[in-house]
Amino acid sequence: MTLTADRFEVPFEGGNVDVEVKSNIDYEVLIDEKSQSWIHLDNTPSSRALTSTHLKFQIDASQDYEKREGTITIKSGEKRETVTIYQAGEGILTLTAREFQLDNSEQDIKIEVSSNFEYSIDMPNVDWISEVKAQTRGLSTHTINLHVAENKSYDDRSATLRLFDANSELSEEVRIVQSQKNALVVETKEFEFDESGGTFTVNLRSNVNYKVQISDYWITEAPATRALVDGSHTFIVAPQYEGYDRQTEIVFSDASTGVSEVVTVKQHCSMLFDSSTLQLIIDNSHQLTLTNRTDQDVRWESSDPSVASVDASGRITALSRGTANITATTLDGKHTCQCTVSVKDITDFILARYTGGSTINNGGWILQGSQFNWDFVNKSSETVILKSLQLIDGHGGFGALHPFQDVVGPYQTVSYTSTIGYVGIYAPVTCRFTYEYKGKEYTVDVNENDKIDWTDWLS
């Protein structure tokens, strides 16, 4: 029994070994016990008269850092031949992740390492990454624990950690990237204006793609080009002379990162009236109360003195139907306050209406005993005196006058019933109320056939 070769060199990644045996006797193949895990016989030997047999062995890839050795014995009785397998060793360094993309928060990360040698760690030369605990050795999985500090800057940052074999060129790198602190930095967060309005500019720095949201109609943004890093936005505050203070917000926000900044805009009136609108009845007057936050005297003016006049103290007198704007202006002309006055006649607030009844109509003649129900409605804030009620027939004839002195207060309605006497009356019937206001008499008529919807008028 002879062998053509008794020594084989196998690379780290493994392979096949072919042993040629020339024999004319039976033999057996024995792999030493410690090598049976990585040397495997692929075929079963057979022998015959001085015949060559090829024994094929599969050699597994090595997991060892150092070179390893195994033996194969070919035995027949006391006769034996030995084959030695030498396999090169090599370092194994495997990482579960080679890059970490982190947000800007303080956090810990883990690097899982599979290695068969004592590797070294080359930490990055930065102050924001530190190793919590180092582990190495053996062909097993170990964890490198790193602590990453919060990124309080407005720029991304990155660092590279290197794991290497001091005895070879084997190495792996891990890249750690931490995003910037997402921010909107506004220089000035509050702006104030008087009633004249004006413009203002919000200067900000940002590293996010933000949007601008304005809460109220009286703030508008002037057209401008916005840069992503350094931004400035100019806004226009509308004037307002309604006589009240107002406040709103402008929000700069990025929905994807959740960062936002709020700018508050306040508009104060230098002068305020107790009311920005007023309704008066002709011949009535009203004293406007002015809150003057300036140190100046004011002049008073009416846009239509024929409708409403105003004196130097701010007292308004209603003169005729219409609308007039009463304005108080500082002597330097910079501050103005306005009240809109609507002037109406007392007759605009008085209503007569037919509310039904029980009538007998014989060919246009309303018979005796028929009844008509009427309302007299005062929708004003004034008191009037109801003087009389009188029916007028369809031919224009006047019935009996029913005098009284009924006081009808503000927003009050009084009801009356007219009963037709024994003579009767021509249809259609009209009721005329006579009332007195400030010593002057007025009349209001309503016909039984009036089909007017008074819902809106009475609301």
Q: Is the pLDDT of residue 139 over 50?
A: no
pLDDT score for 52: 81
Confidence at 18, pLDDT banded by 50, 70, 90: very high
Least confident of 171-180, 227-236, 285-294, 438-447: 227-236
Residue with tokens 């027949």: 76
Q: What local confidence, expressed as pLDDT, does residue 454 receive?
A: 61
For 66, 99, 129, 164, 166, the CA distances from 171, given in Å and listed in that order, are 17, 15, 20, 4, 9
**What gap in Å lies between CA 299 and CA 331, rounded to an integer?**
7
Whether residue 244 has pLDDT greater than 90: no
Banded model confidence at residue 138, pLDDT cuts 50, 70, 90: very low
Most confident of 113-122, 138-147, 435-444: 435-444
Q: Which of 413, 436, 410 is nearest to 351 (CA)?
A: 413
Tell me the backbone φ, ψ of residue 346, rounded to 5 degrees: -60, -30
Is 155's pLDDT higher than 90?
A: no
> Residue 3: its pLDDT value, please?
87
* CB burial of residue 267 (10 Å; 0-12, 13-18, 19+): buried
Band (pLDDT 50/70/90 cuts) for residue 459 is low
Distance in angstroms (rounded) separating the CA atoms of residues 25 and 15: 29
With left for phi above 0 and alpha for psi between -120 and 50, is residue 13 left, alpha or beta?
alpha
Q: What is the CA radius of gyration of the chain?
A: 53
* Confidence class for position 136, pLDDT limits 50, 70, 90: very low
Q: Is the pLDDT of residue 286 over 90?
A: yes
Q: Does residue 140 have a pLDDT over 70?
A: no
Percent of the chain with pLDDT over 90: 68
**Model confidence band, residue 340 (pLDDT cutoffs 50, 70, 90):** very high
Is the pLDDT at 266 greater than 80? The verdict is yes
pLDDT band at 226 (very low <50, low <70, confident <90, very high): very low
Lowest mean pLDDT among 242-246, 258-262, 302-306: 242-246
Identify which has the larger pLDDT, 149 or 46: 149
Give per-residue pLDDT as tens, 350-404. Answer: 999 999 999 999 999 999 999 999 999 999 999 999 999 999 999 999 998 999 9
- pLDDT given at position 195: 87
Query: Residue by residue, what is the 3-state secondary structure of 157-222?
Result: EEEEEEEECCCCCCEEEEEEEECCCCCEEECCCEEEECCCCEEEEEEEEECCCCEEEECCCCEEEC
Per CATH, domain 184-266 is 3.40.50.280: no
pLDDT of amino acid 229 = 45
**Domain residues of the chain, as ranges?**
2-87, 93-178, 184-266, 271-344, 348-447
> Which amino acid makes up residue 412?
Q
Confidence of residue 46 (pLDDT cuts 50, 70, 90): low
* pLDDT > 70: percent of the chain: 93
CATH number, domain 271-344, options 1.10.10.10, 1.10.10.410, 3.30.930.10, 2.60.40.1080: 2.60.40.1080
Dmax (CA) for the chain in angstroms is: 162
Please determine, for residue 145, whether its predicted confidence score (pLDDT) is greater than 50. Answer: yes
pLDDT confidence tier of residue 142, bands split at 50, 70 and 90 = confident
Which pLDDT belongs to residue 453? 66
pLDDT at 48: 53
One-letter amino acid of 422:
Y
Q: Which CATH superfamily hosts domain 348-447?
A: Immunoglobulins (2.60.40.10)
Q: Is residue 143 within 8 Å of 134, Cβ to Cβ?
A: no
Mean pLDDT throughout 25-48? 84
2-87 matches 348-447 in fold: yes
Dump pLDDT digits (tens) for 321-330: 999 999 999 9
- For the domain with range 2-87, which CATH number is right: 2.70.98.40, 2.60.40.10, 2.30.130.10, 1.10.1200.10? 2.60.40.10
pTM of the model: 0.52
Q: What pLDDT, in 10s, does the model give residues 90-132? A: 888 999 899 999 989 999 999 999 998 889 999 999 999 999 8
Domain spanning 93-178: CATH superfamily: Immunoglobulins (2.60.40.10)
